[in-house]
Each structure stands twice: as C-alpha cells, then as structure tokens.
Amino acid sequence: MWFLIVLLVIVLIIAFKSIKIVKQSEVYIIERLGKYHKIADAGLTIIIPFFDHVRSVVSLKQQTMDIPPQGVITKDNVTITIDTVVFYKVTDPAKAVYEIQSLRKGIEYLAITTIRDIIGKMDLDQTFSSRDMINDRLRVILDEATDQWGCRVDRVEIKDITPPADIRDAMEKEMNAERNKRAAILQAEGERQAAILQAEGQKEAAILEAEADKEAKIRRADGEAEAIKKVADAKAQEVQMVYSAIKKANPDDKLVQLKSLEALKEVANGEANKVFIPFEATKALSGLGAAAEVIKEKENKNN
C-alpha cells in the first residue's frame, strides 16, 4: 500500500517536472545537462525531468526601461539632469540569456554613457532645441550595440531636461525679455501699419475730392458754355429775323441809319465795358456830325 502511494507521488512529481505550459508572448530557454537545448514556444512543452530544466523565461513583448535621471555636463560646462526612457524588444531569446549577464543592466549602462557622450558635444541651447535629434542618435547607437544581445531598441525618449536653478532663472528672464521685445515690435508694427493706412486713406480722400472738384468745374464750365451757346444762337436767330424783315421791307439808307443808331443806343445801355460800332452806324454818325456843323454855322451868321 505504501509502495503504491510512494509510486504515485513519484509519478506526480515526474509529471509536474515534465509538463510545462508556456504563456503567450513568452518563451522558455531549456537546458539539458547544463547545456542549451532548445527554445520552448507558447503552448504545452514536455521536458525530461532531472535532465532538462528551464534556464530562463523570456518575454517577447515590447518592454520599457526608465533610465534614472543623470547629471550631464554640456559643451559650455553647464550641468543638466536628463531623464530618459528606452523601449526595446527581445528578438533572439538565446542571445539575450547567454550573450550578456543582465540585458536590462547592459541597456541602462549603455544608455547612460551614450547620453553623456552626445550631450557633452552640445551647447545648453542645443539640448533644448534638438530633442528629436538626440532621441534618434540614442536609438541608433543603442540598437547597434544591443543587436549582439538579441535585442532591438525601437524608441528612446527624453522625458525631461532640468537645468540648474540659476540657469533656469536666467532663461526665464531671457524668455520674458524676448516676449516683451516681440510685443513691442508687434505694437510698433501695428502702429506703423495703422499710420500708413491712415495716410493712404487721407491721400485717397484728397485725390477723390480733387477729382470731384475738377469734375464739378468741368461740368459747370460745360453748362456755362452751353448756356452762352444757346444765348448766342437765340441772338443770331433774332438778328436773322430782323435782317430778313428789313430785307423784305426794302428800306432806304436813312431808315437803315436811323435803325442803326437805335440799336447803338441799346448796346450802349448794356453792361459791357466795350462797345463795337458797326460800319454803317459810323456813316450815320458822320452825316449827323456834318448836319450839326451846318446848323452851327447858320446860327453864328445870324448872330
């Protein structure tokens, strides 16, 4: 009876040692008699008890490793603290186990030395403005170095760059001064633009006003010329009518002279400063002048 119980216990122990269930995204490194034997993938795996054993369980998932904040000296001798995180994945589980004693420690130390080397060649301002470049260089260097360990570095991200307190205060003052400078420049530019627009508006208004005044004068002159032309046309028609009437009446010279004198009287009563006497009117005036001389001579003789 006891023999059966002992045998059953031995069988259970052997079964427990022989049957291994590997989880998804994991692999088992199996050694036989202390030597690498195989890699057990996800699922059920049978091993030989007391001869085979699981050396290591390796995860194939994307893994993250937070690098402790490191004090780094820049090219211009400023000590800054950099906090970094590394994303990596095991591609060859056997190399990750047998090529390095501790993969995580190896990546951590390599990342620290690489960060110090890269930042030591850069100025303080470059470290703030070149994060993407630093990340890319770190990823390339770490990926090349860890390839022999069966590891692939997918991303490296700098979480934070912390300068000393005095440098941070100086940077904040410089930033405030730059903001004030930009605000003053923008304000001056706005005022200049406003002045330019105002001057252009005044110029346009003056041009439009001058053009309107010019147009008004031109139209007023056109109106006056049209009025003068209409008056002249009316006078010409009147003269033509009078001339036609006189021509039909067939007047003698004395009547013509008398009518000329009457017309000269009307002209003299006008507002014009100059009076133009027709040639026929001068004949009538000369005749009157001669008659006046004869009358004067007769009066002198009688006296």
Give the bridge partners for 84, in sequence order: 67, 158
77 occurs within a structural domain = yes
Q: Are 42 and 76 part of one and the same domain?
A: no
Q: Are 99 and 133 part of one and the same domain?
A: yes
Contact 81, 72 (CB under 8 A): yes
Q: Are 27 and 90 part of one and the same domain?
A: no
180 occurs within a structural domain = no
Q: Which of 145, 163, 181 is the last residue of a domain?
A: 163
CB neighbourhood size of 299 (10 A)? 9
Torsion of the alpha carbons at 189, 193, 194 and 199, rounded to the nearest 10? 140
Q: Are 38 and 75 part of one and the same domain?
A: no
Q: Are 85 and 140 part of one and the same domain?
A: yes
Contact 281, 264 (CB under 8 A): yes
97 occurs within a structural domain = yes
169 occurs within a structural domain = no
Specify the pTM.
Answer: 0.54
Tokens, residue 105: 């420690």
Give the bridge partners for 54, in sequence order: 30
Burial 10-26 (b: 16+ CB within 10 A, else e): eeeeeeeeeebebeeee
Q: Which residues touch 112 (CB under 8 Å, ≥6 apart)?
A: 67, 70
201 occurs within a structural domain = no
Q: Considering its fold, how many domains does the chain have in total?
A: 3
For 298, the domain range is 251-303
* CB neighbour class for 108 (10 Å; exposed up to 12, middle 13-18, buried from 19): middle
Q: Are 112 and 125 part of one and the same domain?
A: yes
Q: Which of 128, 163, 198 is the last residue of a domain?
A: 163
Query: Which has the closest alpha carbon to 22: 48, 44, 55, 49?
Result: 44
100 occurs within a structural domain = yes
The domain spanning residue 78 has which CATH number? Answer: 3.30.479.30
DSSP state of 248: H
Q: Are 97 and 155 part of one and the same domain?
A: yes
Q: Which of 44, 59, 74 is the last residue of a domain?
A: 59
238 occurs within a structural domain = no
Per-residue pLDDT of the chain (303 residues; tens, 9 = 90+): 677 777 777 777 777 778 888 888 899 999 888 888 888 888 888 888 888 888 889 999 999 999 888 888 888 888 888 999 999 999 999 999 998 888 899 999 999 999 989 888 888 888 888 888 989 999 999 999 899 999 999 999 988 888 877 777 777 777 777 888 888 888 888 888 888 888 888 888 888 888 888 888 888 888 777 877 777 677 667 666 766 666 666 655 555 555 655 555 555 555 544 444 454 545 544 554 454 454 555 555 555
* CB neighbour class for 254 (10 Å; exposed up to 12, middle 13-18, buried from 19): exposed
Q: Are 39 and 83 part of one and the same domain?
A: no
237 occurs within a structural domain = no
Q: Are 107 and 158 part of one and the same domain?
A: yes
